[in-house]
Chains A and B, each alone.
Chain A
Amino acid sequence: MKRVGIPKALLYYRFSPLWSTFFRELGFEVVTSDPGGRGFLGHQPISYFEDSCLPMKLLVSHCLDLAEKVDVLFLPRLISIHRKYIMCPKFRGAPDIIKLAAGRETEVIDESFDSRLGSNPWGSFSRAVGKRLGLRWGEVRAASRGAHSVQEGFERDLAKRINGLPIRDLFALEVPTPETHGHPGDLNIAFIGHPYNLYDVDVGKDVLGMAKKFGCRIRIADSLGGHEIESKASGLSKEIYWSSGREIVGAALAFLARDDIDGVVFLSSFKCGIDALLQEYLKRVFKVQPAGTMPFLTLSLDEHTTVQGLATRLEAFVEICKDGRPRGPRT
């Protein structure tokens, strides 16, 4: 039985149910890096292959950690995960960076995933992967369909899982989704950002768990309808062509328009090009909002971020949110 390695980095935090179910159903043993979920920073050395954002640097470290333990690494070349919009350009070069960093003898499944082409991108992607691994199409199709429905179920439950489960169990499919009921006094705080900033303990330092301890109910972009996000994002003077950027801006504007949200926290990675640009945009939009501002906190994350530093800022922010929304634009 072949072992497939899936690095716990970047879009693992969005597609892990899909990817791992797919390979498991095809009879592979799925190995993920950092099985304890403790994170890399402080436990293992980080490899700096290029001077990129922290999530990208972590990808290199996770892959190097996995490379010796598995037969093949799974690192698709993610061009686009949306019908019209694209991913950050760094994702396009990621498999090449990994091949150079890990040595060319490492086998990497780096098939391109481009949702702009064709009506069934996941189907054609899984077909290409199956072909490369020498599997029969019937088998691959069954696995890819099964995996797809697992992913859909997971996405439906994600908002509940975040409020009910600790972060290390978030992507453990064997842990069932708990029924959670909020307390009446809870603050509703929206967290926006790339999924790896939110859920990777190395990047985000479990800021969601921290917020829960401070008595917040967490709202994420996935709990809004895709339609609501899209309608906000498409009203801008220029199309944002990164799907993640659209989601961030659309969700922020949607949360801003809602009455049941007490504050918005934006988690951004230092050196992330998309975050840097959109953060500037959101900051100004929240400031010039005519209807009155909503507390908005930007947390910039890098390898020097400490849990204590984040906790201090978050606690102060929660206090501001408790005072209720200030009326009228702040100066």
Chain B
Amino acid sequence: MKVTFPHLGTMHIFCKAIAETAGIDYVVPPKTSKRTLTLGVKNSNECICLPFKVILGNFIEALELGADTIVMVGSGPPCRLGLYDLVQKVIIEDLGLPYRWLTIPPRLDWPALVKNREETKELKKELTFKNIATFPYALWIGWKKMVACERLEKLALRVRAREIVTGRTEKMLRRALGGLDEAKTGEAIQRATIEGERILGSVDQDGGHEPLRVAIVGELYTVMDPQINRGVERKLGEMGVEVTRTSWFSSHIMRSLGVGRENRNERLRYYQASLQYLGYDVGAECNVSIGEAIVRAKDGYDGIVHLMPFACMPETTASGILDRVGRDLGLPVLTLILDEQENEGRIITLLEAFVDMLTWRRQEFH
């Protein structure tokens, strides 16, 4: 059995850690590239959202490399993510690639557990006792690594906005994450995190620079994966902007498990703020995108970057309303709709113009 999983930000680091610790064979799909996208686009149609195409491309490339079991997070209504597996299974079958599918249930309820049991029935036969016995420990290691990755990434967001040599932070972040990737035990992860923080701290910073503050909101896949959004976060950072986002693995996992009071309260605050524009919970990140923009405006942020894949169902509603929110509150909102035909030049031009505009605004008000 060789498992594989889609790419999403730094997800491969901790998914790999889980499989490695539990002693399960795995294949990390090749880094999302032009070929990945082309494979995804060729085997779907133009109005399916970008994450679908990228994930499909990841799977096809991983299956070509010898993976035979796909592990994919399940999801529920009302967004399309919940039905990815139904359609992707038929597509992969039609392509003639052998595969098995394992869905991680989004919520721990009866139908999900029954379905999980069915799917794992065959797989269990191939697992040794050791695999199963070490799995809880592997999950713990995975969680540790994920939290550590996020910690380093969050630190990098702050450092990048103040760096003197452009691109230095990114280099150091790669090195720090690389060190974390190699850590095997809980203790080693701890050490790698501290070392990572030291490496990031060693980047020369301009202490007097007061960066513009921008919040990135929108559909979680496009917000979290730099391959999909063409490094919007990094580009903004290197233009001297401090970026904030609330979409992290930990926040989404904690939300679906229903734990973490702070996280829940934050989301609730955004949801309540959105109600003055949107009278009902549309689902996915729609209300949160709108609510976060409203809350951030009150917190004194300089602007909002709203990311969404082309034809995303909930975010299309959000983009129409965000436009009005921005006008009502005097908050600049830049909506970037991403699809496979994206070229980097467009994004750079838009971001540069946006940042210039924010800089002028700030000078005018001061």
Contact = CB atoms under 8 A, between A and B. Distances in A.
Interface of A: 49-52, 77, 79, 86-90, 92-93, 95-97, 100, 110, 112, 236-238, 240-242, 270-281, 284-285, 287-288
Given A89-B283, A271-B311, 17 more contacts: A89-B313, A89-B314, A92-B78, A92-B280, A93-B280, A96-B278, A236-B86, A237-B86, A241-B76, A241-B77, A273-B47, A274-B313, A276-B47, A278-B87, A280-B90, A285-B90, A288-B94
Given A88-B313, A238-B83, A281-B90, A273 B49 contact: yes
Given A89-B317, A95-B279, A284 B90 contact: yes
Interface in B289-322: 311-314, 316-317, 319-321
Contacts, number: 121
B280 A79 contact: yes
Contacts of A52: 316-317, 320
B48 A280 contact: yes
A251 B214 CA distance: 48
B44 A280 contact: yes
A100 to B, nearest CB: 5
Nearest to B276: A96
Nearest to A288: B94
Contacts of B93: 284, 288
B77 to A, nearest CB: 4
Given A49-B320, A52-B320, A280-B87, A77 B279 contact: yes
Interface in B331-356: 337
Q: Report which residue of B52, B83, B93 has the largest number of chain A beta carbons within 10 angstroms of its beta carbon.
A: B83
A272 B89 CA distance: 21
A242 B78 contact: yes
Contacts of A237: 85-86, 89
B168 interface: no
B321 A100 contact: yes
B239 interface: no
A280 B316 contact: no
Contacts of B277: 96, 100
Contact of B87 (A242, A270, A271, A281): A281
B94 A50 contact: no
Contacts of A240: 83, 86
A52 B281 CA distance: 18
Given A100-B320, A238-B85, A93 B282 contact: yes
28 contacts: A50-B320, A51-B337, A77-B279, A86-B77, A89-B286, A89-B314, A90-B313, A90-B317, A92-B78, A92-B280, A92-B283, A95-B279, A96-B278, A96-B317, A100-B320, A100-B324, A110-B279, A237-B85, A238-B85, A241-B78, A270-B47, A271-B311, A272-B47, A273-B49, A273-B80, A274-B313, A280-B45, A285-B90
Contacts of A275: 47
Given A89-B79, A97-B321, A238-B85, A287 B94 contact: yes
Contact of A273 (B44, B280, B313): B313
A273 B89 CA distance: 18
A280 B44 CA distance: 6
Given A93-B282, A276-B311, A280-B44, A51 B316 contact: yes
